Amino acid sequence: MRAILLDTSAFSAHRRGHPEVSAAIAEARTVALNTVVLGELLDGFRRGSRYERNLADLDAFRSSPRFEMLSLGEETAGAYAQILGDLRRAGTPVPTNDIWIAASALQHGRLLLTLDRHFLHLPLIAVQCFS
């Protein structure tokens, strides 16, 4: 069992009942979100029509004893700079928030669960990408 970090797409897929994502979460030793993912989720909730329900679902998810909330700090910033530099040299663009998410995964040694294939361009990050 591994320690995992969910990106926004993986959390959303899990909530929609994606069987492979849900199985990976069920098998994980610990499951984390970071502050960037939390911000993206809260933004999506506010733009939707089911804010209270989505927030309650998120709170229930976060109440698991296997859940961890990862903050960003100076070490994350160093990992961000390294990843961003590698992407620039390779000419491979990745959305800025996703670089922060990847930096957090690198910092904490987490397997990153995602549905976004551009994470596969990041050789320093362990990624499990679902379709």
Question: pLDDT (tens digit, 9 = 90+) per residue, 12-42?
Answer: 999 999 999 999 999 999 999 999 999 999 9
With the CA atoms of 35, 102, 110 and 68 taken in that order, what torsion angle do they form, in degrees rounded to the nearest 10? 0
List of residues 6+ apart from 131 with CB closer than 8 A: 115
Distance of alpha carbon 115 from alpha carbon 12, whole angstroms: 10
Indicate the pLDDT class of residue 89, thresholds 50, 70 and 90. Answer: very high
Rounded to two decimals, the pTM is: 0.93
| Nearest one of 15, 4, 79 to 44, comparing CA atoms | 15
Q: Which domains, and CATH codes, for the chain?
A: 3-129 (3.40.50.1010)
Does residue 1 carry a pLDDT above 80?
no
pLDDT at residue number 16: 94
Beta strand residue intervals within the chain, DSSP E? 3-6, 30-34, 67-70, 111-114, 127-129
